[in-house]
Amino acid sequence: MSFEDGVKELEAIIQKLESGDLKFDEAATMFERGAQLCKELNEKFENVKGKVTVIRESLGSLIEENME
């Protein structure tokens, strides 16, 4: 699942939970799915954030070398 698809699913879950139209068991199941999605999306975000940091550090080293 892409990050964007996960966010869309999470938004749909939030809307359903906020509607107040779900039975308790349905709401609990939706909440559990939402929590799992949050965890997965956070892991994807942190992974990309780490890659961006590595790229920035690499670019910084290249820039410093070119300035010398």
Whether the per-residue pLDDT at 20 is higher than 80: the answer is yes
Indicate the number of domains in the chain. Answer: 1
Give the per-residue pLDDT at 56: 80
Rg (CA), the chain: 19
Q: Could you tell me the two tokens for 60?
A: 């910084």
How remote is the C-alpha of 28 from its chain's centroid? 21
Q: How far apart are CA 63 and CA 16, in angstroms?
A: 49
Give the per-residue pLDDT at 51: 86
Give the global pTM.
0.74
Q: Which domain holds residue 21?
A: 3-67
- pLDDT tens per residue, range 21-36: 999 999 999 999 999 9
Letter string b/e over residues 14-27, b meaning 16 or more CB atoms within 10 A of that residue's CB: eeeeeeeeeeeeeb
Give the per-residue pLDDT at 65: 56
